[in-house]
């Protein structure tokens, strides 16, 4: 069964600064990063974990009813305020200027006869990288007014002879028209697949196959290391918040 997780655009989140000094807005302190929310008690205050393991404590908010969900991936626009002392639970205090929920899904495991359920329509890839235990994909597709679906699937009936794991990025356009081009970001949780694999090594090699606009079967190889942050730095800016503002992707 497909697991559809809604992609939501968060309202602008303005946080109260602990210091009104204009230096808070310096280029050295301002960042846009992908991170994972941790808020196990559903508190008004929460923290973010960047994919390199850095823990960011988020300060007071102008939206006290906002409850970010644990394990939600976000594109976070924030300003570094203070460094925490060595031995603290967090590395920095930050002011969150804005945040955008990223579609976050498990890897689907294909059962016999299910392959056609996920579609195989063309999709374009801007970039693809591993962060923490997620495969992150910035992509684009063509559509108009219907809901589309994006999934990463594993078909164990098509193994590589050298032991690599074959994955497929599947796009179901739902028979939509192709009037417009939309952008999107999605994170797939690799741990949801690792639990199903019998691996006796410290890493595993994957190859993601994509029915790309320019190449029918483009391959993206990568290695996932266990017990490692698997951090790959990506540059983002405020323009990236426009991704998925008007699209219908689940």
> DSSP secondary-structure letter at 110?
P
User: 149-191: per-residue pLDDT in tens?
Assistant: 999 999 888 778 788 899 999 999 999 999 999 999 999 999 8
Cα–Cα distance list, 187 to 43, 53, 128 (Å): 24, 17, 10
Which of 106-115, 124-133, 148-157 shows the lowest per-residue confidence on average (mean pLDDT)?
A: 106-115
120 band by pLDDT with thresholds 50, 70 and 90: very high
Given pLDDT bands bounded at 50, 70 and 90, which one contains residue 15? Answer: very low
How big is the chain, counted in residues? 250
Top pLDDT among 39 and 55 is at 55
pLDDT of residue 199: 72
Handedness of CA 215, 123, 120, 157 (dihedral sign): positive
How confident is the model at residue 2, as a pLDDT?
40
Residue 115 pLDDT class (50, 70, 90 cuts): confident
Between CA 85 and CA 197 the distance in angstroms is 40
In DSSP notation, 116-185 reads: GGG----BEEEEEEEETTEEEEEEEEEESSS-BEEEEEE-TTS--TTSPEEEEEEEE-TT---SEEEEEE
46-71: per-residue pLDDT in tens? 899 999 899 999 885 645 555 678 88
E strands, 71-144, in order? 73-83, 92-106, 108-109, 124-131, 134-143
**Distance of CA 194 to CAs 40, 77, 154, Å?**
24, 31, 11
pLDDT value of residue 228:
66
Better pLDDT: 152 or 78: 152
- pTM score, two decimals? 0.82
pLDDT at 191: 87
DSSP H helices in the chain: 191-194
């Amino acid at each position: 069964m497909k697991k559809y997780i809604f992609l939501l655009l968060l309202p602008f989140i303005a946080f109260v600064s602990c210091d009104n000094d204009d230096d808070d807005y310096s280029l050295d302190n301002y960042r846009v990063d992908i991170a994972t929310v941790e808020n196990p008690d559903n508190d008004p205050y929460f923290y973010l974990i960047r994919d390199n393991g850095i823990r960011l404590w988020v300060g007071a908010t102008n939206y006290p009813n906002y409850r970010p969900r644990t394990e939600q991936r976000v594109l976070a626009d924030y300003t570094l305020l203070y460094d925490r002392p060595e031995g603290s639970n967090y590395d920095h205090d930050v002011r969150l200027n804005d945040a955008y929920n990223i579609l976050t899904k498990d890897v689907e495991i294909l059962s016999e006869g299910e392959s056609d359920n996920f579609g195989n329509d063309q999709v374009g890839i801007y970039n693809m990288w591993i962060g923490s235990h997620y495969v992150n994909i910035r992509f684009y597709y063509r559509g108009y007014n219907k809901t589309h679906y994006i999934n990463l699937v594993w078909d164990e009936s098509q193994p590589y002879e050298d032991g690599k794991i074959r994955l497929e990025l599947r796009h179901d356009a739902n028979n939509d028209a192709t009037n417009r081009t939309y952008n999107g970001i999605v994170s797939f949780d690799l741990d949801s697949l690792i639990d199903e694999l019998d691996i006796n090594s410290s890493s595993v090699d994957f190859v993601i196959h994509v029915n790309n606009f320019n190449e029918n079967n483009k391959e993206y190889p990568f290695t996932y290391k266990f017990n490692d942050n698997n951090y790959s730095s990506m540059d983002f800016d405020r323009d990236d918040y426009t991704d998925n503002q008007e699209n219908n992707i689940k």
